[in-house]
Structure 1
Amino acid sequence: METIKIGDLTLRWLNGGVTNMDGGAMFGVVPKPLWSKKYDVNEKNQIELRTDPILFTLNGKNILIESGIGSGKLTDKQKRNYGVTEESKVENSLKETGLTPEDIHIICMTHMHFDHASGLTKKSDDGYESVFPNAVIYTSEVEWDEMRNPNIRSKNTYWQENWQAIEHQVKTYTEQVEIFPGLKMIHTGGHSDGHSIILLESNGEKAIHMADLMPTHAHQNPLWVLAYDDYPMTSIKAKQEYISSAIQSNTWFIFYHDAVYRALKWDEEGKTITDSVKRVR
């Protein structure tokens, strides 16, 4: 289990499962000869994308960023289409830290696509139940509204089984919310209409989770956006606003999907990685 210290915070990456998604879709209009130099691709043109929640404790509360892809919920066809080679083992990862799912107090959901939200619920005798029954689940109001009423495009990723059992736990916000001093969620749109990013600050150190605006370190270029993005120009604008300022302020970038890096810093020009935590394979 990889960890990093951000000020007084200790961040831990749990095992939330893995997908292997089409590289062309993940890099949009960027030609493969360019993006394949920055991120490994397999013979099926797929790139590995972890779905690993990030655990930390703040103000005496155990907090998760994202929830993983869950376990026992995907059909064989879905596993094939999304290149799922491993499902979530979040409960086992929590056990290593001395915690159970019941000990999680807050979950910060940048958005509610299946690869982020499937870990929120699990199958039960009556259908589905909450995996983290004592947690307050934060997501933007726009995201929550679309989750429950998806359009013809988004219905493929906003699934009823991922929200019905936890709707009484959800707390929404509009533009931004400061959950605690040092933990803020900001609605950006872009990847989805309700997409948000997360800012962390502790004892003078900072971290930013760009979520699916920058799912991997190879997506640093503001123009390298996903074919999955519903509003690509909004994604580009948000990346321009937050990435450069984070680099200039010596901020850690933390990742949910990246198969290589858990966290990293770039130099002031954004060209060289100056510090990093790599995923242990």
Structure 2
Amino acid sequence: METLTIGELKVTWLRGGNNHLDGGAMFGVVPKELWTKKYPISEGNRIPMRTDPLLVQTEKHLMLIDAGIGNGMLDEKKKRHFGVTEESFIAEDLQKLGFTCEDITHVIMTHLHFDHVSGLTKCSNGHFSSAFPNARIFVSEIEWNEMRNPNIRSKNTYWKQNWEFIQHQVITFSDKDEIVPGVTAHHTGGHSDGHAVVVLKGNNDILVHMGDLLPTHAHQNVLWVMAYDDYPMTSIEQKQQWLAYAYENQAWLSFYHDAFYRAVKWDNKGEIVDEIKRMHSASIQ
């Protein structure tokens, strides 16, 4: 498991599962000739992607940023549709680190699309329950409201089974919320109306987790936004703001979906000056 230290905060990437989505959808209006130079393509015009939560350890808290794709939460049809070939190993990875799912104190959600939220719930013999029963779950108020009342477009990713059994644990915020000292969630909108960015600060170190505003390193160009984005112009504006902040502060930028990089630092020219690669990068079929 790859790790990164931000001051006194320890970040570890867990195995939350994978999916393989259409490359054209992931890069929107960007021509295939351009994006394939930045991110490899696999079978059926799809690209390999992870759904890997970040475990954040402090002296007193054990937090997750997003929750992975879960286990047994997608039927075989959905697995084929979304190209899922691996489900979550979060419990196993926590065990390797000396923890259990019951030890998680906070879960911070960038948003509640199925590939980020399905791991919050577990299913045993047809019965659903919370996967992290002792955690407080933080999400923007806008996102939580839409999750429970999806529109004709969002109902394809906001599923009742992913909120009904954890609703008693949810705490919402509006603009921003310092979850614990050094860990702050900021509402951005863009990818979804309630999307949020999470910023970790410790000493002189900063990590910016931009969620699905920056799903992979190949989305560095502020104009390269997904066709899945509900509000693409907001995504562009927020990418401009947060990338400029990261460049200015020499901050790490971390990824949830990238099959090759866990985190990078870019300089003002957009060149990688430091990196953490995924130990077992995706194989391209």
Q: Normalising to structure 1: TM-score of the pair?
A: 0.98
The residue number in structure 2 matching 1:280 is 279
Instruction: Please state how far the C-alpha of 1:203 moved relative to its aligned partner.
Output: 1.2
The residue number in structure 1 matching 2:283 is none
The residue number in structure 1 matching 2:204 is 204
Q: Distance in 2 between matches of 1:239 and 1:28?
A: 15
1:97-132 Cα shifts (integer Å, max 9, x gaps):
000000000000000000000000011356310000
Structure 1 residue runs without a partner (length 5+): none
Tell me the amino acid that sits aligned with residue 129 of structure 1. Answer: S
The residue number in structure 2 matching 1:4 is 4
Tell me the amino acid that sits aligned with residue 192 of structure 2. Answer: S
The residue number in structure 2 matching 1:178 is 178
Tell me the amino acid that sits aligned with residue 197 of structure 1. Answer: V
The residue number in structure 2 matching 1:251 is 251
Tell me the amino acid that sits aligned with residue 274 of structure 2. Answer: D
Are 1:238 and 2:238 counterparts? yes
Instruction: Please state how far the C-alpha of 1:59 moved relative to its aligned partner.
Output: 4.5
May I ask how many residue pairs the two structures share in their alignment? 280
Instruction: Please state how far the C-alpha of 1:57 moved relative to its aligned partner.
Output: 1.3
RMSD: 0.9
Moved more, 181-190 or 123-132: 123-132
The residue number in structure 1 matching 2:264 is 264
Residues 10 and 58, structure 2, Cα contact 8 Å, conserved in 1: no
1:116-172 Cα shifts (integer Å, max 9, x gaps):
000000113563100000000000000000000000000000000000000000000
Q: Normalising to structure 2: TM-score of the pair?
A: 0.96
1:191-219 Cα shifts (integer Å, max 9, x gaps):
00000000110011000000000100110
Tell me the amino acid that sits aligned with residue 263 of structure 2. Answer: A
Q: Distance in 2 between matches of 1:86 and 1:204?
A: 37
Instruction: Please state how far the C-alpha of 1:43 moved relative to its aligned partner.
Output: 2.7
1:1-281 → structure 2 map (5 Å cutoff): 1-125=1-125, 127-270=127-270, 272-281=271-280
Structure 1 residues 214 and 167, CA, compared in 2 at 3 Å: closer, same or farther?
Answer: same
Structure 2 residue runs without a partner (length 5+): 281-285
Tell me the amino acid that sits aligned with residue 266 of structure 2. Answer: W
Moved more, 238-247 or 108-117: 238-247
Q: Distance in 2 between matches of 1:131 and 1:246?
A: 33
> Sequence identity, in percent?
57
